[in-house]
Structure formats: structure tokens, C-alpha cells
């Protein structure tokens, strides 16, 4: 059974205007960093905060760490007259260029890709799952390819953009498609093939560094892990943990699989990712093998059947089944955001997201 870690990104908003907060967030970020032993980091924009768990062996540990940080974050922002939320996009953004977080790398990115950074008001959920070596990691990458859209659909939580409903469940994933290396990773023959192709990508002028390899799943260059990046930031800690243990179950299942199919057409996988961003947990998805329409319920049933042995081995079976049923019955983040908006306005979306921060 693999260990895992979770990185959550959050927005900080001005409670009065609903706009992303900039320099105001720096003071309490420093306070959070001081009491969190390096688990709190800056993201590209000054209005964003990232928190990383320690290496987790089980879901209870992960849930405790996420809720503990979220409680501290909520307390800090409320004292400053602000709101914090796990949303995939900021529902409203200013017309002016955003304030960047401190760091030479962010300034360099902005100098090269300013048209993209000016709209980079997006937050994601990044899940690291341990792998024994890079060969095993490439095997897991190949195995994950057809299931990344399903994880994206479950984790869709960004329908609002520039004050309007984008008509997508995950506008963050659509926004991400503008960057140079993104989407479903290609099929790799082995680790050497992976490294060769990464080297070729890095030789181009379109990629600043390895952090710009923004596939929905990739091998980590820092840790012996595979990193999944398709899900939006989540309003509730429980949903983040659900996606994490599903990701772990997929990687563990890949380790027990003798061979991984390479029959998936990249254009169909790309369409499946687009469809997942469009509909989330509503409407049809695309079967990545046949290209035909398929309900999200059928897709999830197949996923749960596939990873059932891994979930049983980790003790996560009942938790996942219960959590998925709850999510389908009451809605993922995108659905709950729209429900909140129907009760009033975007201010209700932010209030709901802030309230769910500590749920």
C-alpha cells in the first residue's frame, strides 16, 4: 500500500468586495508559516496560499492535517476581515495585473508569459502517491491516463469566471489548456523514454523549467512519487481526501497490473478531459476507449470496480463508497457553488466556500 501526500491551494478574498486579496495576505501567511514548520508555501499570486500535508499512511491522518490547517487559516483570515476558500477559480478578478507572490521564479514567469499570468487566478489539488522507482512510476502514469478525466469530473469546482457562469464545471482545467505542456500525458515505453522526452521538451524555448510540465499526472522531480494534478482545489477537506485515496488506489492497482494498454487514442483522451471539465458530475462523459458518450455514474462504477481490491487492502472501501454516493447525491464543488449562487449572488458562493473550509 502506497503512502500519499496532499497539496491544497486556497484563495484569500476581501470579505467586503469579494475580490482576491493581494498584499494584505502576506502578514498572516507569515504567521501561518511560523507555526506550520514549512508546510505553508506561496503560490504564483499574492492572493494564494498552499498547504502540504506530511507523508500520510492513511486517510485519517490526512483528514486531520487538512482540517487542522484549514481551521487555522479560517481563523487568521477572519481576524483580517477576509475570507479563504478552496475554489478552482476566483469568481471575480480585477482588471489590473495581479500582484505576484515574492520570488524570482514568479517574476521570470510573468516576464515571459504575462498574458497567461495575468489570468492565473486558479487553484488546484495536487496529490502525491509514492512509487518504488521511476519504472514503476511510468507504468502508473500509463495506467492512469484513461482515468484522469474521471478524477477531474469528480473534482470539478470552478464554474465561475469574471463574474459569470462559464457553463463549465471546471473552468480551471480549460484555463490550464493555454499553457505549453498540459493535458493527458502521452504513453511512455519506459522511464528512459520518459526522461528522453522530458529532455527534448526542456530544450525548447516554450518551457521555463520542469515545473512547467503541467500534464494531469507526472513524475515528481523532488520526491519518489507520481503527482496527479487534474482536480480543482476543494471546498471540503473530505473531498480532497476522497480524491487522494482514489488516486492511491489507482496507483496501487497499476502496481499489480501485468501490462498496461496503449490502445487509447490521445485525441479521445483529450476530448474526455474537455468533456469532464464541461460537465463534471452532470451530463455524459466520454468513454476513453470507445469515444462514445457514457454517464458519469457508469464511469464511476467501473472505476470503483477496478480499484476495489486496493481500496479493501487500504481499508478505504467503505469511506470511498459512502463519500462518492454523498458527492453524487448532493453535488461536487461545481454543483454546490451553483446552488449557492441560486440563493443570491457570488457573495453567497464565497460565503458558502468559506463555511465549508472547516467542514
- Among the listed ranges 127-131, 201-205, 315-319, which one has the minimum average pLDDT value? 201-205
- Is residue 106 pLDDT above 70, yes or no? yes
Instruction: Tell me the pTM.
Output: 0.96
In the predicted model, what is the mean pLDDT of residues 167-194? 96
pLDDT for residue 28: 66
- Is residue 36 pLDDT above 70, yes or no? no
Phi, psi of 109 (to 5 degrees): -60, -45
Angle at CA 85, nearest 5°, toward 220 and 17? 135
Measured torsion, CA atoms of residues 185, 190, 196, 199, in degrees rounded to the nearest 10: 50
Top-confidence residue, 107 or 17? 17
- SS3 breakdown of the chain: % helix, strand, coil, rounded to 5? 50, 20, 35
In the predicted model, what is the mean pLDDT of residues 220-243? 96
Distance CA 128, CA 211 (A): 15
pLDDT for residue 34: 65
Report pLDDT digits (tens) over 116-127: 888 999 999 999
Report pLDDT digits (tens) over 243-278: 999 999 999 999 998 888 788 999 999 999 999 999
pLDDT for residue 212: 87
Q: What would the grid cell of residue 52 be?
A: 502540504
pLDDT for residue 96: 85
- The pLDDT-based confidence of 42 (bands split at 50, 70, 90) is confident
pLDDT for residue 112: 83
Phi, psi of 148 (to 5 degrees): -60, -40
Distance CA 321, CA 69 (A): 26
Report pLDDT digits (tens) over 143-152: 999 999 999 9
Class of the CATH-defined domain 4-356: alpha beta
Mean pLDDT of the residues in the chain: 93
Distance CA 296, CA 283 (A): 7
How far is CA 125 from each of CA 5, 36, 135, rounded to the nearest angstrom? 11, 19, 25
How far is CA 216 from each of CA 15, 151, 177, rounded to the nearest angstrom? 32, 10, 11
pLDDT for residue 261: 79
Report pLDDT digits (tens) over 69-94: 999 999 989 988 899 999 999 999 99
- Is residue 24 pLDDT above 60, yes or no? no
- Is residue 38 pLDDT above 70, yes or no? no
Q: In the chain, what percentage of residues exceed pLDDT 70?
A: 96
In the predicted model, what is the mean pLDDT of residues 178-204? 95
Within 8 A by CB and 6+ apart from 171, the residues are 88, 89, 158, 159, 160, 161, 277
Distance CA 251, CA 265 (A): 21
In the predicted model, what is the mean pLDDT of residues 93-102? 85
Q: How many CB atoms lie within 10 A of CB 328?
A: 15
Q: What is the SS3 assignment for 61?
A: helix
Q: Where are the beta strands (DSSP E) in 252-303?
A: 284-286, 293-295
Contact 182, 176 (CB under 8 A): yes
Amino acid at each position: 500500500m502506497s503512502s500519499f501526500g496532499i497539496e491544497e491551494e486556497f484563495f484569500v478574498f476581501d470579505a467586503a468586495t469579494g475580490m482576491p486579496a493581494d498584499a494584505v495576505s502576506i502578514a498572516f501567511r507569515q504567521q501561518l508559516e511560523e507555526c506550520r514548520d514549512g508546510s505553508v508555501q506561496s503560490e504564483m499570486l499574492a492572493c494564494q496560499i498552499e498547504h502540504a500535508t506530511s507523508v500520510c499512511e492513511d486517510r485519517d491522518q490526512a483528514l486531520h492535517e487538512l482540517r487542522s490547517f484549514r481551521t487555522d487559516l479560517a481563523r487568521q483570515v477572519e481576524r483580517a476581515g477576509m475570507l479563504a476558500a478552496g475554489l478552482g477559480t476566483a469568481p471575480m478578478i480585477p482588471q489590473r495585473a495581479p500582484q505576484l507572490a515574492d520570488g524570482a521564479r514568479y517574476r521570470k514567469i510573468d516576464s515571459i508569459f504575462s498574458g497567461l499570468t495575468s489570468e492565473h487566478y486558479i487553484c488546484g489539488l495536487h496529490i502525491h502517491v509514492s512509487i518504488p522507482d521511476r519504472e514503476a512510476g511510468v507504468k502508473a502514469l500509463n495506467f492512469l491516463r484513461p482515468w484522469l478525466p474521471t478524477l477531474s469530473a469528480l473534482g470539478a469546482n470552478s464554474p465561475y469566471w469574471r463574474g459569470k457562469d462559464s457553463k463549465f464545471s471546471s473552468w480551471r482545467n480549460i484555463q490550464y489548456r493555454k499553457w505549453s505542456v498540459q493535458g493527458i500525458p502521452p504513453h511512455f515505453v519506459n522511464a528512459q523514454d520518459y526522461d528522453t522526452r522530458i529532455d527534448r521538451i526542456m530544450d525548447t524555448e516554450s518551457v521555463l523549467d520542469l515545473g512547467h510540465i503541467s500534464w494531469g499526472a507526472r513524475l515528481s522531480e523532488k520526491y519518489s512519487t507520481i503527482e496527479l494534478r487534474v482536480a480543482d482545489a476543494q471546498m471540503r477537506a473530505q473531498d480532497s481526501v476522497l480524491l487522494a485515496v482514489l488516486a492511491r488506489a489507482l496507483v496501487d492497482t497499476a502496481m499489480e497490473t501485468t501490462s498496461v494498454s496503449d490502445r487509447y487514442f490521445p485525441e479521445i483522451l483529450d476530448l474526455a478531459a474537455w468533456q469532464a471539465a464541461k460537465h463534471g458530475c452532470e451530463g455524459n462523459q466520454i468513454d476513453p476507449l470507445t469515444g462514445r458518450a457514457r454517464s458519469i455514474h457508469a464511469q464511476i462504477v467501473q472505476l470503483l470496480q477496478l480499484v476495489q481490491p486496493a481500496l479493501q487492502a487500504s481499508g478505504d472501501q467503505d469511506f470511498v463508497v459512502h463519500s462518492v454516493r454523498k458527492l453524487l447525491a448532493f453535488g461536487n464543488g461545481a454543483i454546490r457553488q451553483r446552488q449557492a449562487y441560486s440563493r443570491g449572488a457570488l457573495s453567497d458562493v464565497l460565503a458558502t466556500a468559506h463555511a465549508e473550509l472547516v467542514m
